[in-house]
Amino acid sequence: MKDALAIHRSLLERQTHHEIVRLPSPIGHADELPRALGLPAVRCLVTRVYACNDVMRGHRFLCAVIVPAGFRPHAEAVRLAVGARLIRPARPDIVNRATQYAAGLVCPLLLPASMPVLIDENAVGDRPCDDVVYTATGEASTALGLHVLDLYALSGAKPVLLGEPAAEVR
C-alpha cells in the first residue's frame, strides 16, 4: 500500500515544496480532514473514485475525482467528462487494489496512469497559485499539504465544473 513516505519521496524527486502533517487524531475518511486540521472544507480536498462503463460495450475503467471535503460531484457531470455510459462509486476493495491507497484516504497523486483524473473547477479556479490545500495520504494519521498549482500539475487532473461553487461547501 502507498503511504505518506511514498508520496514524500515522489515529491522530493520532483523538488516539489510540500508538507506531511501529522494529524492530532486518526481519521477514517478524507472528508474528516477539515475537522482534524481545523480548516474550512474548501482547503481540504478528497479524491473520490468511480467505476465507469464506457460507451463501448464491456469496457470498464476507474476515474478519480478531486473535490472539496464533504462535496459529492454531480454524477452526470463526471459521466460526461470521462465519456462513460454509466458511473457509480467504486467499491472499497476495488479502490484499494487499483490505487494502492486505503479506499477512504486516496491521495490524488501516484494514481495509475490509466485512471482519468478530474478536478472540480470550483475547488481550484479562484485560488491563488500559492494557496496551500490538504489531502489524504493513504494513512489515517497524516495529511499532505501542497500548493494548489502543484497538486493540479502533478495529478494531471482535467478541470471540470462538477457542481455548485466550493464556497457553498464550508
pLDDT for the residue 168: 39
Q: Is the pTM of this model over 0.75?
A: yes
Q: Could you give the CA distance from residue 11 to residue 33 in angstroms, rounded to a whole number?
A: 21
Domain ranges for the chain: 4-163
Taking Cα atoms as reference points, which of 85, 148, 76, 97 lies closest to residue 119? 148
Fold designation for 4-163: YbaK protein (3.90.960)
Can you tell me the mean pLDDT for 86-100?
96
Question: Does the pLDDT value for residue 170 go beyond 60?
Answer: no
pLDDT for the residue 169: 40
Q: Could you give the CA distance from residue 35 to residue 108 in angstroms, rounded to a whole number?
A: 20
